[in-house]
Structure 1
């Protein structure tokens, strides 16, 4: 009977961190959904701005791709550089 009590206490103490983790995870997940909804409602999320961000990302990726393909130090090129 004493062993059953120790097992019950061990299970209780072992389940407390799991329960705390689940509660914190639920709180963070709810905040993340709210943050996504807020970002969707921002006026900065216009199609023009998103297209501009995509273009800048494409330019940065092109520069990185070129730097990876050459042995030259592309960071030392005079600005503005051309491909």
Structure 2
């Protein structure tokens, strides 16, 4: 099998997208620590609001479970605060 002079050009053309992808990955990954710090500093990240959000999600899941287990239309049911 003879050496083909087109191989170096083909290897170069194949390596360009890989190199660009690596450069973009390095550029994006460099800001990851800063993004994590920004997310921690946002309002709503403190333990009390997280606990409130968890409780709210638990109440929603309880309502969804109840709706799935009954044949009634729970959307039309009167709720205590609409008296």
> How high is the TM-score relative to the length of structure 1?
0.70
Give the length in aligned residue pairs: 80
Deviation at 1:52, TM superposition (A): 0.6
Q: Once the two structures are superposed, what CA deviation does each residue of 1:25-79 show, in whole Å capped at 9, x if it has no partner? A: 2222223331111121335322111111111111122222233333433333333
- Which has the larger displacement, 47-56 or 32-41? 32-41
Match of 2:66 in 1: 66
Counterpart mapping for 1:14-25 below 5 A: 14-25=14-25
RMSD: 2.4
Match of 1:27 in 2: 27
Larger radius of gyration: 2
What runs of 5+ residues in structure 1 fail to find an aligned partner?
none
Name whichever structure is richer in helix by fraction.
Answer: 1
Match of 2:44 in 1: 44
What runs of 5+ residues in structure 2 fail to find an aligned partner?
none
Cα distance change, pair 24–72 in 1 and its aligned pair in 2 (3 A): farther
